[in-house]
Amino acid sequence: MTAILDLHGDEPGFGLALPALYNLVYCSRATPGVDDATVQRIVATARRWNPEYGVTGILVFGSGIFFQWLEGPRDNVTALMSRLRSDSRHDSIVLLSEVEEVRERMFPDWDMELVTSDHIRDVLQDALDSATDAQNAKALSVLLTELDAAL
Ligand SMILES: Cc1cc2nc3c(=O)[nH]c(=O)nc-3n(C[C@H](O)[C@H](O)[C@H](O)COP(=O)(O)O)c2cc1C
CATH number of 21-116: 3.30.70.100
Q: Are strands 17-30 and 4-6 parallel, antiparallel or unpaired?
A: antiparallel
What is the model's pTM?
0.82
Q: Where are the domains of the chain?
A: 21-116
The string of pLDDT tens digits covering residues 69-109 is 999 999 999 999 999 999 999 999 998 889 999 889 999 99
- pLDDT, tens only, 41-66: 999 999 999 999 999 999 999 888 89
- The answer to whether 133 and 103 have CB atoms below 8 angstroms apart is yes
> Quick check: 77 and 26 in contact, CB under 8 A?
no
| % pLDDT > 70, the chain | 89
Q: Ligand 1 mean position to 6 CA, how many Å? A: 33
Mutate to test the pocket of ligand 1, among 25, 40, 80 (most ligand atoms within 8 A of CB): 80
Asked whether 29 lines ligand 1 (CB < 6 A), one says: no
Distance CA 145, CA 130 (A): 17
The finding on whether 58 has its CB within 6 A of some atom of ligand 1 is no
Q: Is the CB of 90 under 6 A from ligand 1?
A: yes
State the average pLDDT for the chain: 87
137 vs 129: CA distance, rounded Å: 8
